[in-house]
Amino acid sequence: MNIKHITAVAAAASFFALSATVWAASVTENGEVKKIDVAASKITIKQGPIKALDMNDPMTMVYRVKDPAMLKSVKVGDKVQFELDQDGNGYMVTKIKK
């Protein structure tokens, strides 16, 4: 690998880091908890449309959560308000409250 090649790789890496930052979206939505999976750090939420994230219909989604401890503050059947972030790996719930 010569110097030019290394520079190109570094430039590509910073380009992707930048576009990931620009792409990241955060929205606050309401929904109902349908399932909680602490072991997998996932929560299933029934929600209305989230047009900002191209979800144009009501749907039930399985989301990763930022911290599994968040799952102890809610239970199945709770009406919740949650914050969703989008990153290169998909969606993640970063905050949740009743």
> Where do contacts with Cu ion occur on this chain (CB under 5 A)?
55, 59, 61
Q: Which is nearer to Cu ion, 52 or 59 (CB)?
A: 59
CB of 98 closer than 8 Å to CB of 74: yes
Q: Which is nearer to Cu ion, 27 or 55 (CB)?
A: 55
Q: Which is nearer to Cu ion, 61 or 92 (CB)?
A: 61
How many beta carbons lie within 10 A of that of residue 56, not counting itself?
Answer: 9
| H/E element, 62 | strand 59-65
The owner of tokens 């979800």 is 55
